[in-house]
Amino acid sequence: MRNPASRERREEKAELWKIMSSKIIIIATIILLIVSFSVLFVVEAKNHNYDYKKAWSVVYFENPRDDSLNFAIENHEGKKMAYDYNIFIDGKKVSGNKVEIEKGAEQRIVPVLDLDTSNGVSVSIEVSADDLKYKIYKNLGK
């Protein structure tokens, strides 16, 4: 004959194991979720950083709808860069200069030119640095 006390102990152990196994599953799930969210957070933070393992620049007019020639150059090349820019009016060079921009910085340029826009003027700005070359256009007047 079997001992009833040992049977009760086995049943208690089985009940305890059921309770513990459900707690282990819950705890493991919570830990896995925390680790997953942490990894996703780190990956997304790197993807939202424009300069992370990327090299690029951008040139644009401050306000493309008005008649100003104000433009900006942004440096995301990962190092300090020297940019040359030339301004052309109807295909003729009227101005040029050189600017150095720190990595991750933006340089706003406000050219002062006396333009007669009554007949319409075509303006192009060429920006170059190392092997990069950018060109933006704007029609003023009519």
Q: Which residues contact 22 (CB under 8 A, 6 or more apart)?
A: none
Are 92 and 120 in the same domain?
A: yes
What is the per-residue pLDDT for 48? Answer: 77
| 92-98 contacts at long range (C-beta below 8 A, 24 or more positions apart) | none
Tell the burial category of 111 from Cβ atoms under 10 Å away from its Cβ (0-12, 13-18, 19+): middle
Are 72 and 136 in the same domain?
A: yes
Count of domains forming the chain: 2
Are 37 and 98 in the same domain?
A: no
User: Which tens digits make up the pLDDT trace of 76-102?
Assistant: 888 999 999 999 998 999 999 999 999
Determine the structural domain holding residue 79 and report its residue range.
56-140
* pTM of structure: 0.64
* 118: CATH: 2.60.40.10
User: Which tens digits make up the pLDDT trace of 6-39?
Assistant: 777 888 887 878 778 888 889 999 999 999 999 9
Q: Which residues contact 49 (CB under 8 A, 6 or more apart)?
A: none
Amino acid letter for position 16: L
Are 108 and 42 in the same domain?
A: no
